[in-house]
Amino acid sequence: MKKIIFLVALFLIPFCYTFSQSLQLLDDQDNIIPSGSTIQATCDTAGNVQCVKVVKVKNIGYTGPKTVKVIKTCMSGTAQHTNSFCWGSCYAFVACSQTPWTSLGNEPPIAEGAVNANFTGDCKSQRVCGSTLVKYVFYDITNISDSVSVLINYSFCTSGIEEEKIDITQIQFSNAFPNPANSFFSIKYAVPSSATNNNIVIKDMLGNVVKEIFLENNSGNIKIDITELPDGVYFYSLMIDSKIYATRKLVVN
């Protein structure tokens, strides 16, 4: 009897694992988007065109309809770019921020085997070339661990201007340590060998540049003195050829 129970358990473990994931993402051509992967959205900056990417959500589970919410987190971006998304409601365009945005989740439940094609991830260039990377996480409201995600890299460049040659996958830009900081903080960074004119810019809440550090090497761990900065909230950005590729928040206290 124990042997039979053991064999049944071995059978059920992979069975349960297989069907624990009930959501799947598809592109506008119905190709499967592996969870956690990055897809490209390349648009022109002329006329401040809105760059739109469609992502379809499919219920591949066996436990009935699924009501799905979406969380948007801006991972990095060009300062002037604004982004939004539509899922049940269309949200206002906002500047790139580390603060996650959660949808109201008022799309109708997705039936077993059905596809909802109403999601769009949107970005506006404000007529500025550059890239913005946004992560979208889709999850079942009854089981937050039942989730899938996709990163959309919005790339803008005006017609007639050569596309930027910076490979953003090679860029590393760590969180500040310590944070909050009172006298200095350190950042680990790396940029592609093709990148030139690399620097870190610190701005206050009003957008004023309070400190700028030129990066002599393409990678390293830099220690930044902030003893002259008053207490408050600041934002530090990695800039390559005058374009912002990543922004983080710093608290000086």
pLDDT band at 8 (very low <50, low <70, confident <90, very high): very low
Three-class SS state of 2? helix
Over residues 133-151, the pLDDT tens digits come to 999 999 999 998 899 999 9
pLDDT at position 140 is: 93
Q: What does the pLDDT average to over 190-209? A: 83
Three-class HEC string of 168-198:
HHHCEECCCECCCECCEEEEEEECCCCCCCE
Least confident among 147-151, 170-174, 180-184 = 170-174
Domains and CATH numbers, the chain: 22-156 (2.60.40.10), 168-252 (2.60.40.1930)
Render pLDDT for 20-55 as a digit per residue (tens, 0 to 9).
689 999 988 889 999 989 998 887 665 556 788 889
| Residue partners of 72: CB distance under 8 A and separation at least 6 | 83, 85, 100, 101, 102, 103, 121, 134, 135, 136
pLDDT-based confidence at residue 226 (cuts at 50, 70, 90): very high
